[in-house]
A = this chain, B = another copy of it.
């Protein structure tokens, strides 16, 4: 099973808290715009992960990649969705083709596209 969202957030927050008292549940909750008790429950996986917007803000505060944090919450960023929805046949085919390729191969595609004259 993948590391749970809440557990992961709690670890990150507590790590930052060592250096910076601004990372209490209360203060962090305030900065991302939720109630402390809610964040507390989320961190203990007693509540489901919050909305995309809050997760993105959380990622910002924790210095994490929003896409990765969203993934831990089982969500795909809505901007990625929009890209796929704009050309569903193309992207569906491509993504399914890449499904079983190793990371190295996918990375290579990423690089080729970035550098390339496609």
Interface residues of A (CB under 8 A from B): 65, 67-68, 70-71, 74, 76-77, 79-81, 83-85, 87-99, 101, 103, 105-110, 113-114, 118
Contact yes or no, A93 B110, CB < 8 A: yes
Majority DSSP secondary structure for residues of A touching B: helix
Contact yes or no, A84 B90, CB < 8 A: no
Contact yes or no, A110 B85, CB < 8 A: no
Residues on the B chain within 8 Å of A87, using CB: 103, 106
Contact yes or no, B88 A71, CB < 8 A: yes
Contact yes or no, B91 A95, CB < 8 A: yes
Q: When chains A and B are docked, how far (Å) is the Cα of A74 from the Cα of B88?
A: 10
Select which of B77, B92, B107 is within 8 A of A80 by beta carbon.
B92
